[in-house]
Structure 1
Amino acid sequence: MAPLDPHSYADSAQPLTTSVDLAFFLDFDSKTILGSATLHLSYAYTGELYLDTRCLHISSIVGPIDEPLSYVVDEPQPIKGSLLRVSLTNHSSFTVVYTTDPSASALQWLDPAQTAGKRLPYLLTQCQAVHARSIFPCQDTPLARIKYSAKVNVPKEMKVVMSAAHLGRSAPSAAEAKGACHESKWLMEGRIVEYFNMEQTIPPYLFAMAVGDIVHADLSPRSRVYTEPSELEAAANEFSGTEAMMLQGEALFGPYAWERLDLLVLPPSFPYGGMENPRMVFLTPTVIVGDKSGVQVVAHELAHSWTGNLITNATNDDFWLNEGFTTYAERRIVEALEGKERALLHVGLGWTGLKEEMERFKERPEFTKLKTNQDGVDPDEIYSQVPYEKGFHFLCRIEAEVGRNTFDNFLKKYISRFRFTSINTETFLQFLKEQFPGIENKIDLDVWVYQPGIPSDAIEPESAILQRVLALAKGFNSGIRVSEEDCSSWQALEWQIYLESLPRKLQADQISELNERFHFSENHNWEIKVAFLTIAAFSGYEPCFPEIESALHSVGRMKYLRPLYSGLLQSSSQAKELARCVFADAKHKYHPIAQAVVQGLLLKFDQ
C-alpha cells in the first residue's frame, strides 16, 4: 500500500472512483451545502477505502440498499485535511450524506453587496489545487479522473452554472428528495432544481459551480458568455473573438473534445485570472478593459482544453505538464491571430516574470525545477510562474531542435496518445525519446527537468518592439524617458512590460513624474495599474497609498494581491501598517485561497 499523490490520502492498493452523483441543497443563510455524494468505484472492494475531506460534517454513509456503513474521520492535517475511512464489504458504490463547513476552502459565499447587481447573494467555487475535498468527499488527486452528475437545489430566482452539460430545470420532487440529502429541506417552497451531467472524465479539481444573478449572451453556436446583468454587454463585446480562437486551437492541436466553451465572468473576488473548468471557463472581471487586451487569458484557458484538461498532470509535482504546455499553446494561438511580434511581447513579459520567480525562490530552489517534490508543501503557497514559463521555454527549446513542423506533429501525437489520462513527467520524457531518438544527446533533459534555475540554452525572446521597450525601462535610472514618438503605437502590453521591467524601488520624484505624465494609478487596465502601484508599494510612496488601498479592497485576484501586499510589507513602517489594516478590513472579500496566501505573506514579512 502506498499513497498515489503527496497531497491526497488515496491509496494505490484501493480502487479509484469512476463517477460521482451529487445532490446539493444550497443554504445561503448558513453558508453551507447540504449534500450527498454517491461514489462509484472501478471494482467491488472489501476493506477500508480512503477518501479526502476537509471540514465536511458527515451525517451518514450507506450502501446501495441503504445499509449503514461504518466509517472513521481522522484528525485534520494542515494541508491534506481529514482522512475519511469507509469500511466496505464487496461494495462498488456507496453514498455519503454530509454538510460543508462555512469555512470550506473551495467555496466563497458573497452577500448581495459584494456583487455587481447587489440584488442576490452569490456562490463560487475554486477547487484547484486540492480544494474539491471541501465540497464533497473524493480521491482528490488528478489520477482519479471522474465523470459526475449533479442536481442543485437553489432559490428559484437564482441561476446555476457548472463545468458540465446543463440538462434542465424543474421544481423539487419528493422522489429525488428521498434519501438524497436532508430530505425535509429539499421540498421547501420557492426553490428550483437544476440538473447537470459531465460525461467526460475530469480530475476532481476541475469540478466547478457558480450560483447567483446570472444571465448570458451567445457568442457562437458553441459558446456563450455568462455574467451578472450589468456586465453582460461589455463581456460579450470583449470576448466576441472566442470562436476564432477555438478554430485556431483545433487547427493546431486537433478537435475540441468538450462540445462547448462557455465563459463565466465572476465577481472581482475570484482569486485567479481564469480557471480552465471544461465547458465553463471562470474569468476575473479585471480582463474586461474595453480594448480586448485581456483576451489572452481566454486563449490560455481555451488551450487547457487540450493540455491540462484532456491530458492532466498526475500530481502537483508535475504541474508544468499542465501549465508549460498550455502557455506554449496559448502563445501559438495568439501568434496565429495577432502575429509573431505580439506573441513575442507576451513571451518577453513571461521571461521577466520567470527571472523574478528565480529571485523569489532563491532560498527554496526546489521550486524552480520543472519536476518538483511537494511532499509536505501546500501547492497554493508555492504557486508561481515557474511551471508556466520554464515549461514554455523547455518546449521552445525542443521545437528549436526539431523544427516547428515536426514539433507540431509531435504535439498532435502526444495529445492523441494520452487524451483523457493523467500522466507524470517521466511518461512524457519517455514519449519524447520514443519520438525523437537521441534527443537527450542534443538537449540536457536532466538539467531542464530536474535541476533548479534557468538552463543556459534557454532561448531569450527577441523582437524590435520588445528590445526597445526593455531598453527604455533599463535606462530609466539614467534619465532616459519614454517619448511621445516611442509610445504613440504602444498598446497595453507594451506598457505592462515597461512598468514590470522598471526597478521595483524608485525615488519619490521618479514615481511622481511617471504618474503625473501617464496617470498610471488611474488606468482602467488592471495589469498597468497594479504594475505601477507595485512600484509605489515597494518604494513606500505614500501619495499612492489611497489607490493601493482601493485596489486591495476592489479585487481578490492573487496576481495583484501578492505583489501589492509584498511591496507594502517590505517597505516603510507606514506601509506595513497599511497592509495590516487593509487585510483586516478587506479579507472577508477575498476567496479563502487568497486569504491564506496573504496571511502567509503577513507571517513571512511582518516580523
Structure 2
Amino acid sequence: MAAVDPHSFTEASQPRTKHVSLSLYLDFSTSIIHASGLFLLERPHRGPFSLDTRSLTIHGIIDPTSRASLPFTLSSPDPIKGSKLSITLSDHSSFLIIYSTSPSSSALQWLLPPQTFAKSHPFVYTQCQAIHARSVFPCQDTPAVRIRYSARLNIPSELSAVMAARHVQRRSPEKDDALDVATPSPWCAEGRVVEEFEMEQSVPPYLFAFAVGALGNREVGPRTRVYAEDVASVLDSAAAEFAGTEEMIREGERLFGPYEWERFDLLVLPPSFPYGGMENPRMVFLTPTVVKGDATGAQVVAHELAHSWTGNLITNKNNEHFWLNEGFTTYAERRIVEAVQGEQIAALNTGIGWRGLIGDVERFEDNLEFTKLKNNQEGIDPDDVYSQVPYEKGFQFLWRIERQVGRPAFDEFLKKYIATFKFQSIDTETFLDFLKANIPGIENQIDLVRWTEGTGIPPDAYEPDSTIYKQIVSLANEFINGRMAKEDEVADWHSQEWELYLENLPEPIEASQLVDLDSRYKLAESKDYEVKVAFLKRAISCGCKTYYNEVEKTLKEVGRGKYLRPLYTALVSGKEDDKVFAKTVFSEAREGYHPIAQGVVDAILSKNL
C-alpha cells in the first residue's frame, strides 16, 4: 500500500479523518491522560484502517452505533514512527477509540509546581510538531491530512485550560462526558471541571495544542489576549512586549489577504518550552525568553503570525517539503517586520538568518541531503535534522524570485497563491507548477531545480546589503586586530545587533580578548538569551573557563532548543573535560527539558561521546 508520508503509517488508498471528538481526563498524579476519541471518516471504509500512535495504551475500539467491539492490532514500535494501529472496519465511517497516554509521551511535558513561575500549581502543555500528536491521540499524523476536532478536558478546578481552538465553555462535569473513557469513575468527582473547545477549521494534526495550569490573561488588542501563569510580573511584561500585535495582524492582512482564524491569542509558557514559538492557530505558544522588555520579542510573534497564512492556511504535504512552511513564513515575517519596525530591523533579521544558514550548511557537510529544500527523509527523524536551512534557504529562494520579478508583481503572486491553496496541503512540485504558470518564463531566469533540489547555498543567493548590517559585520571583522566596538558605536544596539556582531567575530579569538569584551559590555550577564548564548558559545570555543558557571546556569534555566543545541554542540566539540562537563550538566538538567529537547541533546551527546 502506498504511504503518503515517510513519517506516517497513513495510506493513500484509505479515507481521511474528517473530525475527531476527544474526551480527555488529565491525571496530574500519574502524568497520564485517560481518553476516548470518536473518529468520523470522509467516507465508509471496509478492511484495515491505519492510524499512527506512540506510547499509547489502546483499551478498546467500538462501533458507536451497535456498541460492538472492533478488531484491532498494534504493531511493535518503530523507533521513529511509533506503532501502527490497524482497525478492521466493515463499511464503517466512524469508530470510538478508548485509550490512555503514557508518562513518556513525546508531546507532553508535565511540570511539577517548582518547575513553573508561580511554584504553586502543576502545569502541562503539548508540543506536537513534527510527529508527536500521535502520542496524545491516535491519528493520521501527517500534514497531508487536515482535521477538525472538538475536545473536552477534565481538569482540577483550581486550574484552567487553553487550546488552539475556540473556547466553548467551562462547566461542571457530567456523566455523559466520560462515555467510554478508560477510567470514568473520577470524571464527575468533586474538585474537577470540564473545559470545552471546538476547532471548526481543518488543521494538520501537528497544530493540535493545549495547555493546563493556573493561568491568567491580559487583553492587548481586539483579537489578542496574552495568557501566562497567573503571576502579575510575567503577565504585565508579556502584555507590554506584545502590545503592537494588532498592528502586525493588520499588516499581514494587507500583504497576504484576510486573517482566517478569528483570534490571535498568545500563551507564554514556562522556560522548558523547546521552541521560540509554535504557530498553533488561535493560540500561539511562546517561550518566556522572547519577553525582553524592549518589544524586540515581537519579531518572534511576527513569525508565528505569518504562519497564519503560510503553514497553517497552506501546509507542506509532509516534512520533506518543510520549506513550504518555514521559508514562506520567514519571508512573510520579514515583510511584516519591515512594515511595522522598518527596513533596517528587517535587514538585521536577514543578516542573522544568513549567518545561521551558513552555519547549518556547514553542520550538514557530511550529509548534504539536508541542505536541500526538498529532501529525502525516509528513515530519518525530522527532529534530528531540524535546522535553519528550510527557513533561510527557503527565504532566500523567495527573495530571489522577488528580485527577479519586482516586489509589486511578487506581492500579487503571493496573494493569488494563498487564495488558491488555502486549507490545503501541497508539495514542492505543486508550488513550482503554480509559479511557472503564473510567472511565465521564470524557469529560464532562475534555476528552480538548483534552488529546490541542489545542495548548499546557490550562487545567486544574496547576503544583506544594508548600511547597519555592513557596519556591524565590519566592526566584528576588526576584532581580530584587537579593535572592539566602542561605546558610542553600540549605544543604540539591542539584541539583534549584538547577536549579529558576536556571530560574525572571526576565529580564533583569544580568551583574554573575550574577557575584555565582556568586562566592557557585560554580555555574559545579559538578560537577553540571544546575546548571552552567542557570547557563551564563543567562550566555550576558545576554552574560556571563566564563563562555565554561566553556561551551566543557562543550560539549567531554559529548555529552548535554539540555546541548547549550540551550547551542548560547542562543549562536545571541545576537550575531554568539556565533554564530561556537558554530560554532567545534562544529567542534572534533563528532567527540566521537554521530551523533544531531551531527544535533541541525547542525539548531540551520543554522536560525540
Q: Taking structure 2 as the reference length, what is the TM-score of the superposition? A: 0.99
Distance 1:178 1:130 in 2: 28
Which residue in 2 is equivalent to 1:564? 567
Which region of structure 1 is more displaced relative to structure 2, 480-489 or 499-508?
499-508
Which residue in 2 is equivalent to 1:220? 221
Which residue in 2 is equivalent to 1:11? 11
Instruction: Go from structure 1 to structure 2 and tell me whether the alpha carbon gap of 1:126 and 1:398 turns closer, same or farther (over 3 Å shift).
Output: same
Q: Displacement, 1:181? A: 4.5
What is the CA deviation profile of residues 329-352 of structure 1, one whole-angstrom value per residue up to 9, with x for unaligned ones?
000000001111111111011001
Query: Quick one: which amino acid aligns to residue 103 of structure 1?
Result: S
Q: Contact between 2:523 and 2:535, CA under 8 Å: does it hold in 1?
A: yes
Distance 1:530 1:36 in 2: 43
Query: Quick one: which amino acid aligns to residue 422 of structure 2?
Result: R
> Is residue 444 from structure 1 mapped to residue 419 from structure 2 by the alignment?
no
Q: Displacement, 1:505? A: 5.0
Distance 1:459 1:406 in 2: 20
Which residue in 2 is equivalent to 1:56? 56
> Is residue 160 from structure 1 mapped to residue 161 from structure 2 by the alignment?
yes
Distance 1:412 1:569 in 2: 46
Distance 1:552 1:546 in 2: 10
Distance 2:531 2:70 in 1: 56
Query: Quick one: which amino acid aligns to residue 447 of structure 1?
Result: R
Distance 1:286 1:198 in 2: 29
Q: Contact between 2:533 and 2:563, CA under 8 Å: does it hold in 1?
A: yes
Which region of structure 1 is more displaced relative to structure 2, 287-296 or 126-135?
287-296
- The 4+ residue runs of structure 1 with deviation greater than 4 A are none
Q: Displacement, 1:180? A: 4.1
Q: Contact between 2:98 and 2:181, CA under 8 Å: does it hold in 1?
A: yes
Distance 2:191 2:507 in 1: 54
Distance 1:416 1:555 in 2: 39
Equivalent residues in 2 for 1:167-566, closer than 5 Å: 167-230=168-231, 231-503=234-506, 505-566=508-569
What is the CA deviation profile of residues 161-196 of structure 1, one whole-angstrom value per residue up to 9, with x for unaligned ones?
000000001111112223245221212211000000
Distance 1:165 1:337 in 2: 28
Q: Contact between 2:100 and 2:182, CA under 8 Å: does it hold in 1?
A: no
Equivalent residues in 2 for 1:23-34, closer than 5 Å: 23-34=23-34
What is the CA deviation profile of residues 10-51 of structure 1, one whole-angstrom value per residue up to 9, with x for unaligned ones?
001110101110010000010010011111101000000010
Q: Percent identity?
A: 54
Q: Displacement, 1:87? A: 0.5
Q: Contact between 2:99 and 2:181, CA under 8 Å: does it hold in 1?
A: no
The DSSP-based 3-state class of the residue aligned with 2:380 is coil
**Structure 2: where are the runs of 5+ without partners?**
none
Q: Displacement, 1:540? A: 2.3
Q: Displacement, 1:426? A: 0.3
Distance 1:461 1:431 in 2: 28
Distance 1:395 1:219 in 2: 32
Which region of structure 1 is more displaced relative to structure 2, 499-508 or 262-271?
499-508
Distance 1:450 1:122 in 2: 43
> Is residue 38 from structure 1 mapped to residue 38 from structure 2 by the alignment?
yes
What is the CA deviation profile of residues 185-221 of structure 1, one whole-angstrom value per residue up to 9, with x for unaligned ones?
2122110000000000000000001000111111112
Query: Quick one: which amino acid aligns to residue 197 of structure 1?
Result: E
Query: Quick one: which amino acid aligns to residue 333 of structure 2?
Result: E
Which residue in 2 is equivalent to 1:77? 78
Query: Quick one: which amino acid aligns to residue 281 of structure 1?
Result: V
Q: Contact between 1:539 and 1:571, CA under 8 Å: does it hold in 2?
A: no
Distance 1:474 1:222 in 2: 45
**Structure 1: where are the runs of 5+ without partners?**
none
Which residue in 1 is equivalent to 2:87? 86
Say how many residue pairs are matched. Answer: 606
The DSSP-based 3-state class of the residue aligned with 2:186 is helix
> Is residue 605 from structure 1 mapped to residue 608 from structure 2 by the alignment?
yes
Query: Quick one: which amino acid aligns to residue 474 of structure 1?
Result: N
Query: Quick one: which amino acid aligns to residue 138 of structure 1?
Result: C
The DSSP-based 3-state class of the residue aligned with 2:161 is strand
The DSSP-based 3-state class of the residue aligned with 1:41 is strand
The DSSP-based 3-state class of the residue aligned with 1:520 is coil
> Is residue 97 from structure 1 mapped to residue 92 from structure 2 by the alignment?
no
The DSSP-based 3-state class of the residue aligned with 2:202 is strand
Distance 2:97 2:230 in 1: 37
The DSSP-based 3-state class of the residue aligned with 2:272 is coil
Q: Displacement, 1:294? A: 1.3
Distance 1:134 1:258 in 2: 26
**CA RMSD in angstroms, aligned pairs only:** 0.9
The DSSP-based 3-state class of the residue aligned with 1:471 is helix
Q: Contact between 1:60 and 1:98, CA under 8 Å: does it hold in 2?
A: yes
Distance 2:436 2:157 in 1: 56
Q: Contact between 2:168 and 2:198, CA under 8 Å: does it hold in 1?
A: yes
Q: Contact between 1:504 and 1:538, CA under 8 Å: does it hold in 2?
A: no
The DSSP-based 3-state class of the residue aligned with 1:523 is coil
Distance 1:405 1:443 in 2: 18
Which region of structure 1 is more displaced relative to structure 2, 510-519 or 441-450?
510-519
What is the CA deviation profile of residues 90-139 of structure 1, one whole-angstrom value per residue up to 9, with x for unaligned ones?
10000110110100000000000000001110001000000000000000
Q: Contact between 1:150 and 1:195, CA under 8 Å: does it hold in 2?
A: yes
Q: Displacement, 1:529? A: 0.6
Query: Quick one: which amino acid aligns to residue 215 of structure 2?
Result: I
Distance 1:503 1:204 in 2: 43
Q: Contact between 2:484 and 2:517, CA under 8 Å: does it hold in 1?
A: no
Q: Taking structure 1 as the reference length, what is the TM-score of the superposition? A: 0.99
The DSSP-based 3-state class of the residue aligned with 1:579 is helix
